Amino acid sequence: MEVKSITKSARISPKKARDVAREIQGLPVSDALDALTYTPRKAAFLIGKTLKSAIANAENNHDLVPDTLVVKIATVTEGPSFKRFKPRARGSASAIKKRTSHINIVLTDEVSLEEPRSKSKKETAAPKKAAPKAEAKAPKADAAPAGDEAALGQVYKEAPAEVDDLKKISGVGPVLETKLNEQGIYKYEQITKWTPENIVAFDERLAFKGRIERDNWLEQATALFEEKYGNA
Return the number of other C-beta atoms located less than 10 Å from residue 203's C-beta.
14
Residue that wins the pLDDT comparison between 177 and 129: 177
Task: Give the residue extent of every domain in the chain.
Answer: 2-108, 148-229
Reported as a single tens digit per residue, the pLDDT across 190-212 is 888 888 888 888 877 776 667 78
Is-contact 197 152, C-beta < 8 A? Answer: no
pLDDT of residue 138: 41
Dihedral pair phi/psi, residue 33, rounded to 5°: -65, -40
3-state secondary structure labels for all residues of 174-230: HHHHHHHHHCCCCCHHHHHCCCHHHHHHHHHHCCCCCHHHHCCHHHHHHHHHHHHHC
CATH topology of domain 2-108: Ribosomal Protein L22; Chain A (3.90.470)
Mean pLDDT, rounded, of the chain: 81
Dihedral pair phi/psi, residue 72, rounded to 5°: -80, -45
Which ranges constitute the DSSP H helices of 62-173?
121-124, 127-143
